[in-house]
């Protein structure tokens, strides 16, 4: 990440090095005492997660480190989220409905939870149907909830196939035309969007809100 302060670099390093206590204390200080931008802090956490992921790939870290990384992120997220405010002048409308879930085979949900939270505080009525969501469950929930936007989240490479299957099932059920589908999660990019047949992808929670705003002008 370019132009990081020394303090920000410390946060990234401590998280990546599993220095849980120091990382948590610093994040807390930045957020609660120094008024740091909570979105920036979450972005730094995501950077640290990339380092953790690379160490896991190289065999330097194992599953316990992934679990601890997830816990550290959840704990910092719990402090950061209530501090995230909607853009000034944007009144919550609770008009448009967004259904979101992590696709089948994938249990990663920290990113999805941040997206859900951001959509919620920006006035969307969000229904989060959880993790490892079977294709049929998406279809059933869409019929019931009638969302204008469906968000598919997934971090694993195998999630790309699950996303594609989910989009196809929505199409086969005759529901595709009445909604927009957005996808997201660590490794999702434009090529994945094309592969899955989704309408757009979002690289972070702010992008998810921007997409929904574009599709459903208030």
Kindly tell me which of 33 and 182 has the beta carbon lying closer to ligand B12: 182
Residue from the set 170, 184, 193, 196 that interacts with ligand B12 by CB under 6 A: 184
Neighbour-count burial for 122-132, b at 16+ CB within 10 Å, e otherwise: bbbbbbbeebb
Distance of alpha carbon 164 from the chain centroid:
18
Listed ranges 6-14, 85-93, 163-171, 183-191: which one lies at the site for ligand B12 (CB under 6 A): 183-191
Answer for the pair 148, 179: CB distance below 8 angstroms, yes or no: yes
Residues 14-53 that bind ligand B12 (CB under 6 A): 46, 49-50, 52-53
Q: CB under 8 Å to 172, separation ≥6 — which residues?
A: none
Kindly tell me which of 30 and 76 has the beta carbon lying closer to ligand B12: 76
- With CB under 6 A, what is the number of residues at the site for ligand B12? 39
Task: Express the helix, strand and coil content of the chain in percent, nearest 5 each.
Answer: 55, 10, 30
Residues 117-176 that bind ligand B12 (CB under 6 A): 151-153, 155-157
Kindly tell me which of 89 and 131 has the beta carbon lying closer to ligand B12: 131
Distance CA(43)–CA(45), nearest Å, equals 5
Task: Find the shortest distance in angstroms from Cβ 43 to ligand B12.
Answer: 7
Kindly tell me which of 108 and 176 has the beta carbon lying closer to ligand B12: 108
Residue from the set 204, 210, 213, 215 that interacts with ligand B12 by CB under 6 A: 204
Residues 53-112 that bind ligand B12 (CB under 6 A): 53, 56-57, 63, 66-67, 69-70, 73, 105-112
Burial of 4 (0-12, 13-18, 19+ CB in 10 A): middle
**In 3D, which of 118, 149, 121 has the Cα closest to residue 138?**
149
Residue from the set 80, 126, 182, 192 that interacts with ligand B12 by CB under 6 A: 182
Number of H helices, E strands in the chain: 9, 5
Task: Find the shortest distance in angstroms from Cβ 194 to ligand B12.
Answer: 16
Task: Find the shortest distance in angstroms from Cβ 36 to ligand B12.
Answer: 16
Q: In what order do the strands lie in the sheet with 200-201?
A: 125-128, 97-102, 149-153, 180-184, 200-201
Answer for the pair 77, 26: CB distance below 8 angstroms, yes or no: no
Residues in contact with ligand B12 by CB under 6 A are 46, 49-50, 52-53, 56-57, 63, 66-67, 69-70, 73, 105-112, 114-115, 151-153, 155-157, 182-186, 202, 204-205, 207-208
């Amino acid at each position: 990440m370019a132009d990081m302060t020394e303090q920000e670099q410390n946060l990234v390093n401590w998280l990546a090095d599993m220095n849980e206590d120091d990382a948590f204390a610093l994040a807390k200080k930045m957020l609660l005492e120094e008024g740091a931008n909570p979105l920036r802090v979450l972005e730094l956490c995501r950077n640290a997660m990339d380092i953790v992921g690379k160490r896991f790939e190289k065999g330097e870290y194992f599953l316990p480190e992934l679990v601890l990384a997830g816990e550290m992120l959840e704990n910092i997220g719990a402090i950061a989220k209530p501090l995230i405010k909607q853009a000034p002048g944007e009144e919550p409308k609770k008009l448009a409905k967004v259904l979101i879930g992590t696709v089948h085979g994938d249990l990663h949900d920290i990113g999805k939870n941040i997206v859900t939270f951001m959509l919620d505080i920006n006035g969307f009525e969000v229904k989060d149907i959880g993790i490892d969501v079977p294709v049929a469950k998406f279809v059933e929930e869409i019929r019931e909830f009638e969302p204008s936007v469906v968000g598919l989240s997934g971090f694993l490479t195998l999630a790309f196939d699950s996303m594609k299957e989910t989009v196809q099932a929505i199409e086969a059920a005759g529901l595709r035309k009445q909604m927009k589908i957005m996808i997201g999660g660590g490794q999702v990019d434009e090529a994945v969007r094309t592969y899955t047949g989704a309408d757009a992808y979002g690289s972070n929670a702010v992008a998810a809100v921007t997409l929904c705003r574009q599709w459903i002008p208030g």
